[in-house]
A and B are shown apart, each in its own frame.
Chain A
């Protein structure tokens, strides 16, 4: 992590409400990613952005939206269209010398009641 922050750590919402998860980085890296993790499963890619004002759908983008207006920020909105939003959400950047390595923020655990 180091320069990747996610807030809040725990988030509770009622069913049918949209909610936005924050991801900020001060490492000046271009590529940012959003994953969700469910118990007993690997991380699944929701959206990623390689550069400001551009982003791509991952494997499970339905029910989610993102924006990348600034290099430092890549917020994720979980919409009411997401059928099963309760999960652990992780933001990541690509960094490293010689090869890309993913480093993660501390995560946000979202519970929809």
Chain B
């Protein structure tokens, strides 16, 4: 079976750091992906992890533990424009998307 869980909403302050967690159960796991989706727009690709560990891309980092079925997206130096939904997706036979975490960045 395939199942993905992530928090529904999070709030953080401009300039702070926020961590968005994701747990998954995926048959034939091939990778874990993170997407950003602003309201009314399509998701845009942020990062992916195939092996355990941390991948850093500027202000965004993503971590994966395959044995625990766990990933997180870390956003540093938050900006107002980071207010969006963040979708966790696992890739097995096909992509399976979580419900998304709506992040609100407050001034």
Contact = CB atoms under 8 A, between A and B. Distances in A.
Given A42-B87, A42-B97, A43-B87, A99 B42 contact: no
Contact of B45 (A33, A41, A42, A102): A102
A41 B33 contact: no
Contacts of B8: 40
Place the interface of chain A in its size category. Answer: 20 to 34
**Which of the listed residues B89, B91, B95, B100 has the most CB atoms from chain A within 10 Å of its own CB?**
B95
B98 A90 contact: no
B91 to A, nearest CB: 7
Nearest to A56: B94
A107 B42 CA distance: 6
Interface string B37-54: 000111111001010000
B42 A58 contact: no
